[in-house]
Amino acid sequence: MRYGYARVSTRKQVRENNGLKAQIELLKKNDCEKIVQEEITGKTNTRPKLNWLLGQLTEGDTLVVTKLDRLARSVREGAALIEDLFNRGVTVYILDIGTLDNTPTGKLVMHIFLAIAEFERTLILERTNLGKEVARTKAGYREGRRPIDALKKRDAADLFLFHGKTYKEILNLTGLSSATLTRAVRARKDELAAREIEAQKNKPRK
């Protein structure tokens, strides 16, 4: 039997169909007979519906997900989960990678993509923490956090402008809508352009 698994991280993503709807449509197009969907953050290892699904899989079944990070964010957790499925005779199919098999090459591909997902998540967290540390050094700073959405949109725009990520990759990573990402990129460009103009004004004349 061919099973599909879709996951989003927040209630807001579920309400706005950001990520979840697209995942389910892709899983249906790839002939999944049963699709399990879950709303739970990738920061936790406790995913009841995924655990239930893993318990249903038997030899000859195929587990399909749109991206490897839907199953796990850390290399260690993901490798253990997938290797257990391999040992049980279950095939793992990732739509943006292909079939993962129990061979040295298949395991290498799996570890590489899990490492990339873990790195991207760590990069965003580090950038967020760095921004907070810089803010604390400025006059008039009051303890508290900026809206999460504002941080997410800025980081998403920077992934597109400075890190070579595609819109599709960023939308899958952040859960933002395409329209929100477009506005965030435009706002970030305007911010950078304003800084450049101000820098030119303040540049000493020869």
Residues 81 and 157 in one domain: no
The number of beta carbons lying within 10 Å of the beta carbon of residue 42 is 17
Range of the domain at 118: 114-202
Residue 98 domain-assigned (yes or no): yes
The number of beta carbons lying within 10 Å of the beta carbon of residue 32 is 22
Residues 86 and 134 in one domain: no
Residue 108 domain-assigned (yes or no): no
Of the pLDDT bands very low, low, confident and very high (cuts 50, 70, 90), residue 29 is very high
| Token pair 């260690």 in the structure block, residue | 76
Residues 11 and 97 in one domain: yes
Of the pLDDT bands very low, low, confident and very high (cuts 50, 70, 90), residue 73 is low
Q: Which of 51, 74, 73 is nearest to 63 (CA)?
A: 51
Query: Which one is catalytic: 9, 74, 177, 178?
Result: 9
Residue 90 domain-assigned (yes or no): yes
pLDDT at 132 over 80: no
Residues 6 and 96 in one domain: yes
Residue 109 domain-assigned (yes or no): no
pLDDT at 118 over 50: yes
Mean pLDDT (whole number) for 99-116 = 72
Residue 107 domain-assigned (yes or no): no
Higher pLDDT, 144 or 23: 23
Last residue of a domain, one of 102, 132, 154: 102
Our answer to whether residue 9 is catalytic in this structure is yes
* Token pair for 87: 């040992």
Residues 21 and 96 in one domain: yes
E-assigned strand segments in 71-146 = 91-94, 98-100
Of the pLDDT bands very low, low, confident and very high (cuts 50, 70, 90), residue 14 is very low
Last residue of a domain, one of 40, 69, 102: 102
pLDDT at 80: 81
E-assigned strand segments in the chain = 2-8, 34-39, 62-65, 91-94, 98-100
Residue 171 domain-assigned (yes or no): yes
CA 3 to chain centroid, in Å, comes to 21
| Token pair 């967290």 in the structure block, residue | 125
pLDDT at 145: 47
Q: Which of 8, 7, 12 is nearest to 147 (CA)?
A: 12
Domain harbouring 91, CATH code? 3.40.50.1390
pLDDT at 49: 92
Into how many domains does the chain fold?
2
Residues 94 and 118 in one domain: no
Residues 195 and 173 in one domain: yes
Residues 87 and 22 in one domain: yes
Last residue of a domain, one of 76, 102, 128: 102
pLDDT at 72: 75
| Cα Rg of the chain, angstroms | 20
pTM: 0.52
Residues 84 and 141 in one domain: no
Of the pLDDT bands very low, low, confident and very high (cuts 50, 70, 90), residue 98 is confident
Q: Which of 29, 67, 42 is nearest to 166 (CA)?
A: 67
Residues 97 and 124 in one domain: no
Residues 90 and 128 in one domain: no
Residues 96 and 124 in one domain: no
Maximum average pLDDT range among 96-105, 113-122, 124-133: 96-105
Lowest-confidence pick of 80-84, 100-104, 169-173:
100-104
Alpha helix locations (H) across 70-103? 75-87
